[in-house]
């Protein structure tokens, strides 16, 4: 009887050891898979992470200063009916400016519109109704030109931004923040923080240039950052 008990005990013991060994192998295999996956995910995220809008290095863009006619505005359409189509900021006299979809340039910066009277929507940000961040940019102009956002630094909190989608859905956003930051102090971390909704509400973010014109860098020395939340 004692010998049978010992054999049974050994059988149970070795079975438990085998189960533990198999479990350990499975655990470490899954951990290795997770590490490899996270590395790939980090690499992909970093490659698509937007940089501060500098416009002084990388791709050069030829800007158009042609005024947009009423007919061109009326006939303007977007490829996706949920994309923003028109931008308005009545306080600055901006009524139904065209909103163009842009992505990242080869140097990692967010694209800008070719025409200084258009607004750009970063198509890796969100749309109306997503309850996230809608990222917009545009031109203040050049040395002798006035772009759509030239007077953006003068806008006050409480003023209203209106976006209209391709399917005619209209959303209104109240401006809660308007600040300036020197380009050289505008870090990638600060740029990333702009993609976090303000007060957990759908947020419109606008970034444009202002300040002193830097002839050697062909850009302004400051950026204006405006944030507005859905009403």
CATH number at residue 194: 2.40.260.10
Together in a domain, 38 and 128: no
Residue 48 phi/psi, 5° resolution?
A: -105, 5
Residue 61 belongs to some domain of the structure: no
pLDDT value at residue 219: 85
Which comes out higher in pLDDT, residue 23 or 188?
Answer: 188
Q: In terms of residue numbers, what domain contains 153?
A: 70-230
Confidence of residue 54 (pLDDT cuts 50, 70, 90): low
Say how far apart CA 107 and CA 142 lie, in whole Å. 22
Together in a domain, 81 and 38: no
pLDDT value at residue 231: 96
pLDDT value at residue 46: 43
Together in a domain, 83 and 118: yes
Residue 59 belongs to some domain of the structure: no
Residue 75 belongs to some domain of the structure: yes
**pLDDT, tens digit, 9 for 90 and up, residues 157-171:** 999 999 999 999 999
pLDDT value at residue 137: 98
Looking at the 3D structure of the chain, how many domains does it have? Answer: 2
Residue 173 belongs to some domain of the structure: yes
Together in a domain, 40 and 90: no
Say how far apart CA 166 and CA 112 lie, in whole Å. 20
pLDDT higher than 90, residue 1? no
Residue 134 belongs to some domain of the structure: yes
Together in a domain, 109 and 149: yes
Together in a domain, 23 and 132: no
Cβ count within 10 A of residue 203: 25
pLDDT value at residue 182: 96
pTM of the predicted model, to two decimals? 0.75
Residues in contact with 33: Cβ distance below 8 Å, sequence separation at least 6, in sequence order: none
Residue 157 belongs to some domain of the structure: yes
On whether the CB atoms of residues 188 and 209 are closer than 8 A, the answer is no
């Amino acid at each position: 009887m004692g010998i049978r008990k010992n054999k049974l005990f050994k059988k149970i013991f070795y079975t438990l050891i085998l189960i533990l060994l198999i479990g350990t192998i499975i655990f470490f295999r899954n951990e290795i898979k997770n590490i490899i996956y996270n590395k790939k995910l980090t690499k992909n995220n970093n490659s698509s992470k937007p940089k501060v809008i500098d416009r002084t290095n990388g791709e050069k863009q030829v800007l158009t200063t042609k005024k947009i006619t009423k007919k061109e505005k009326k006939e303007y359409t977007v490829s996706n009916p949920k994309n923003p189509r028109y931008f308005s900021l009545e306080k600055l006299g901006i009524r139904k400016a065209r909103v163009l979809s842009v992505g990242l340039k080869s140097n990692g910066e967010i694209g800008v519109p070719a025409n200084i009277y258009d607004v750009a929507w970063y198509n890796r940000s969100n749309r109306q109704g997503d309850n996230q961040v809608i990222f917009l940019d545009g031109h203040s102009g050049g040395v002798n030109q006035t772009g759509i956002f030239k007077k953006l630094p003068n806008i006050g909190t409480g003023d209203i931004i209106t976006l209209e989608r391709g399917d005619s859905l209209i959303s209104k956003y109240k401006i809660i923040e308007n600040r300036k930051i020197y380009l050289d102090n505008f870090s990638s971390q600060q740029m990333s923080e702009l993609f976090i909704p303000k007060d957990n509400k759908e947020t419109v973010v606008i970034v444009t240039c202002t300040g002193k014109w830097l002839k050697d860098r062909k850009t302004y020395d400051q950026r204006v950052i405006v944030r507005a939340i859905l009403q």
